[in-house]
Amino acid sequence: MDGNGRWAKKRGMPRQMGHRAGAETFRTIATYCADIGIKYFTVYAFSTENWKRPQDEVDALMNLFRKYLREAADTMSQRGVAVRVIGDLSGLPDDLKAQIAENDTIADQLGPDAAVANLCINYGARDEIKNAVQAICREIQVGKLRVEDITEGCIAKHLYTAHMPDPDLIIRPSGEMRTSNFLLWQSAYSEYYFTDVLWPDFTTADMDAALDDFNHRQRRYGGI
């Protein structure tokens, strides 16, 4: 969800207003994806590196997560969209952790057929892989796992995304042409789509354009 700050700056507004507008876009696009049958929609909301930002911006973002997750807890069942959080939750404020646990409970109640919108908060792909390596090593230490058991599938099962398939399509808005530590393991064969549109301006028509582009790709997964 990139470009919130630039969107606000263009309008002479504080960056926080851009984040607020971006959060609205998240709600619109997450609902749209569920409506058109996309089972998993995952957005990068806050990276393990974003703590470097000024404290007031970090606080504003945490407040937005509080607000949207609380609201999602009320509306999830009506819309049939399960909102979950992916990332190192241990680094988040206690009340936010409690809110995320509540969202998880409701998401579980919705059952396996519900569409899922994942918010990546305090997420970094390298951090995720490091945590997976540590977890695997601990299992080896206690004899739960043998070195030969470390397959690609085993590693995938120790990532935050264990319960879902790899992404088919990754969209990066705002004109940046990099992945910025997003789903590095999972994106091995993902299709990328880059657009100059700033995230707060991203509409359902932009989503359709990305999907249309995706539908014309030939995916060979290393074959011919």
Catalytically active residues, by annotation: 2, 50
Q: Please state, as a whole number, how many other Cβ atoms lie within 10 Å of the Cβ of residue 116.
A: 21
Q: What are phi and psi of 70, to 5 degrees?
A: -65, -45
List the one residue from 2, 127, 128, 206 that touches Mg ion (CB under 5 A).
Answer: 2
Residue that has been written with the tokens 């409701």 in this structure: 106
Distance separating alpha carbons of residues 122 and 47, to the nearest angstrom: 5
Q: Is 4 in the site for ligand IPE (CB under 6 A)?
A: yes
Q: What are phi and psi of 65, to 5 degrees?
A: -60, -45
Q: Is 1 in the site for Mg ion (CB under 5 A)?
A: no
Q: Interface mask (CB under 6 A) for ligand IPE, residues 61-90, using x and -?
A: x-----------------------------
Q: What are phi and psi of 121, to 5 degrees?
A: -125, 130
The CB-of-91 to ligand IPE minimum distance in angstroms stands at 15
Q: Is 206 in the site for Mg ion (CB under 5 A)?
A: no
The first and second tokens of residue 98, run together, are 């409690």
The entry of Mg ion, ligand IPE, none that residue 6 binds, CB within 5 to 8 Å by partner kind: ligand IPE
Q: Interface mask (CB under 6 A) for ligand IPE, residues 146-175, using x and -?
A: ----------------------------x-
List the one residue from 14, 28, 32, 50 that touches ligand IPE (CB under 6 A).
Answer: 50
Q: Is 6 in the site for ligand IPE (CB under 6 A)?
A: yes
Distance separating alpha carbons of residues 168 and 188, to the nearest angstrom: 10
Q: Is 118 in the site for ligand IPE (CB under 6 A)?
A: no
Q: Is 27 in the site for ligand IPE (CB under 6 A)?
A: no
The first and second tokens of residue 71, run together, are 């609201």
The CB-of-64 to ligand IPE minimum distance in angstroms stands at 9
Kindly write down the DSSP assignment for every residue of 71-129, as one continuous string: HHHHHHHHHTEEEEEES-GGGS-HHHHHHHHHHHHHHHHH-TTSEEEEEEEEE-HHHHH
Let me know if 185 is exposed, middle or buried by CB neighbors in 10 A (0-12, 13-18, 19+).
Answer: middle
Judged by CB under 6 A, the stretch of 4-12, 32-40, 203-211, 216-224 that binds ligand IPE is 4-12
Question: Which residues of this protein are in contact with ligand IPE, per CB under 6 A?
Answer: 1-6, 19, 22, 45-46, 50, 61, 174
